[in-house]
Amino acid sequence: MSAPNPQQPALDEQNVMNGFHSFLSNALAQAKAERLLEEEILASAESDIMVAGPALCLYFAALRSSTNPPSVPIPRSSAPGEPPLSLNPTTCPPAFRAYFSIWTAAVPLIQALPGDEQHDLARIICGREPLSPSTSRQDVLKRIAAELRSVAIEISQRRTFQERYQADLQAALDHGRPMSPDGRRTPSPLRATFVPPPGYEPEEKPLPSTPGGLVSSPTRSSHQYDRPPRSPYPGMHVVNQDAPTPYSPAITSSIPAVNGRAPSPAPASPRRTSTHTQPTIPVRGHTRNQSSSSQFLELPGANNNASGASGPSIRRSPSPTILTQQDPAILIIRETLYAALADVLARTPELRSMLKTDPSRAYFASVGLAILEVSLTSITPEGNVRAVLGTELKLGDAPQNYRPLMQELQRIGTRSRELEAEDDARAMELLSASDDALPEPRMDRVRKMLVKGVARGWEELHSDEEAGAMADAGQHSQRRREGGQRRGSRSQSPAGTALELTNRINALALGMTKLPAFKERQNSIFKVLASAR
């Protein structure tokens, strides 16, 4: 393996992004040829194609890397005849170094896999079951897949990626089509229907109100939503185009009863305690050659403490709704999440400062924390949702096309509580063994990665582990001198459980951007976020 030239300067971010999208189109085309992704999935943007696509791109790039340390050749768009640029640890732009470090760590692991395991890894990346009946290596494959998907999620949350992904999907659909008599490639009859979610930049001017009291955005033309959006989940077909506004107690009386119970004011959600302080492809194997502000939540810092009460407070002001009498469950699901959104904003000042530098990141971080909050505090042992409107929503009460969202919330809540219980048991075991070096709870790692991003959280985690390993080495020597030895208190999550859970939460946040009750309201939610600055 040849080493990259250390004298090369850092590459321009735009060159790196152009190169990534070029590789992404090829990766999607290869995944289509190997039947990892069906054409219908590419066209409909169903499932988690926003995550699987870029993760496959990283996987194929790892197979083809031939340098040490790993690098990626970037074509020169301005000079096609010139040798490609090299994206390596030296030339990687600072904005992408965290992602690149995760990818470079995965490259030797991927290249060392046998061909059948490489293929199984690709299937896992796409959310499919591995073909190998052996389970001895599946934990390793799942961890590699989780790390690649974590980077893919970070990429998918970038607005520049979202605006170009439809073209990448269409290029993959058109790839391999027969040539027409005039020498042109025949386009695919399938068209990629992926549409980016609404913009994340907060409006500088107040948004005008429609006659119904709803906020409309002048930056989005009405024809952009003429085509009914596809669901982010297989089999989910969204038909409701309503765009409800934030919850207020004033509208609860207009919401019909669910399960025969009329909604009533919700009790305060139980609050968990934590040691965490919220931060202020059909072949086996692959080859390398192949608007008025009163309509919104009032947030801390907006001088809303006129009553003289100490500390931050959140007041939900009355606002109208355009939900019909047949849509109570949609309102309940949405408003439960939005109430949690306000709570996490109040407890996480870092999110408000993030709005100035990375509004898209701030949105997904806020929604991710809200999803975690609801899954921990609002899911009953029976799997029902204890809603802000004072009612308990069962899975059967939700419209068919929203049930996958509830089911994923239930799974996230179940897994989160399992991790908390396991961490508590481990802490008690260590304390009983007089070990005062307790590991960081995995739920705290999850929250950290949701706020900072998986890549930056991954960097901090590994930095902490290196420091911990040095400390553990000293403790180990001391224990040997004392004639005893205990299990080290610092280790990565088994099979990357914290990372896997973070990926699930982030993937659900991405999927929610394609549901009408959430998509049509994102501009307004960002106005809420902006008011917190």
DSSP string computed for 299-366: -TTSS--TT--SS---B---------TT-HHHHHHHHHHHHHHHHHHHH-HHHHHHHHH-HHHHHHHH
More confident residue, 482 or 119: 119
Residue 259 placed within a domain: no
Specify whether 98 is located in the same domain as 241. Answer: no
Residue 75 placed within a domain: yes
Residue 64 placed within a domain: yes
Specify whether 110 is located in the same domain as 240. Answer: no
Specify whether 379 is located in the same domain as 516. Answer: yes
Where in the sequence is the domain holding 420, given as residue range(s)?
Answer: 234-252+322-480+493-533
Radius of gyration of the chain from its Cα atoms, rounded to whole angstroms: 25
The mean pLDDT of 370-387, rounded to a whole number, is: 87
Specify whether 160 is located in the same domain as 246. Answer: no
Taking 80 as the threshold, does the pLDDT of residue 113 lie above it?
yes
pLDDT digits (tens, 9 = 90+) for 168-227: 999 999 998 888 888 788 888 998 888 776 655 544 444 333 333 333 333 333 333 333
Specify whether 99 is located in the same domain as 245. Answer: no
pLDDT digits (tens, 9 = 90+) for 294-310: 233 333 333 333 333 33
Residue 356 placed within a domain: yes
Backbone angles phi, psi at 47, to 5 degrees: 55, -150
Point out the least confidently predicted range of 33-47, 87-101, 221-235, 321-335: 221-235
Taking 90 as the threshold, does the pLDDT of residue 93 lie above it?
yes
Instruction: Single out the residue in 174, 191, 210 at which a domain terminates.
Output: 174
SS3 category, 6: coil
Taking 50 as the threshold, does the pLDDT of residue 482 lie above it?
no
More confident residue, 252 or 370: 370
Bridge partners of 179, per DSSP, are 185
Backbone angles phi, psi at 315, to 5 degrees: -115, 130
Specify whether 112 is located in the same domain as 248. Answer: no
User: Most confidently modeled of 107-111, 180-184, 248-252?
Assistant: 107-111
Specify whether 99 is located in the same domain as 248. Answer: no
Residue 303 placed within a domain: no
| Spacing of C-alpha 83 from chain mean position | 36
Specify whether 135 is located in the same domain as 244. Answer: no
Taking 70 as the threshold, does the pLDDT of residue 122 lie above it?
yes
The mean pLDDT of 476-505, rounded to a whole number, is: 57
More confident residue, 225 or 84: 84
Specify whether 150 is located in the same domain as 245. Answer: no
Output the pLDDT for position 286.
54
Taking 80 as the threshold, does the pLDDT of residue 56 lie above it?
yes
Number of domains in the chain: 2
Instruction: Single out the residue in 132, 156, 174 at which a domain terminates.
Output: 174
CA angle 134, 137, 139 (to 5 degrees): 115
How far is CA 133 from each of CA 35, 116, 140, 424, rounded to the nearest angstrom?
20, 11, 15, 34
Output the pLDDT for position 315.
34
8 Å CB contact between 172 and 32: yes
Instruction: Single out the residue in 125, 153, 174 at which a domain terminates.
Output: 174
Specify whether 133 is located in the same domain as 244. Answer: no
Residue 79 placed within a domain: yes
Specify whether 115 is located in the same domain as 238. Answer: no
Taking 70 as the threshold, does the pLDDT of residue 321 lie above it?
no
In this prediction the pTM is 0.66
Query: Mean pLDDT for the chain?
Result: 71
pLDDT digits (tens, 9 = 90+) for 337-351: 888 888 888 888 888
Specify whether 158 is located in the same domain as 246. Answer: no
8 Å CB contact between 397 and 489: no
Taking 80 as the threshold, does the pLDDT of residue 455 lie above it?
no
More confident residue, 333 or 475: 333
Residue 529 placed within a domain: yes
Point out the least confidently predicted range of 114-128, 380-394, 429-443, 469-483: 469-483
Residue 267 placed within a domain: no
Reported as a pLDDT band with limits 50, 70 and 90, residue 240 is: very low
More confident residue, 415 or 292: 415
Output the pLDDT for position 456.
63
Bridge partners of 74, per DSSP, are 85
How far is CA 126 from each of CA 42, 152, 264, 415, rounded to the nearest angstrom?
12, 12, 43, 21
Taking 80 as the threshold, does the pLDDT of residue 79 lie above it?
no
Q: Give the integer Cα–Cα distance in Å for 526 and 215.
A: 12
Q: Give the integer Cα–Cα distance in Å for 140 and 146.
A: 10
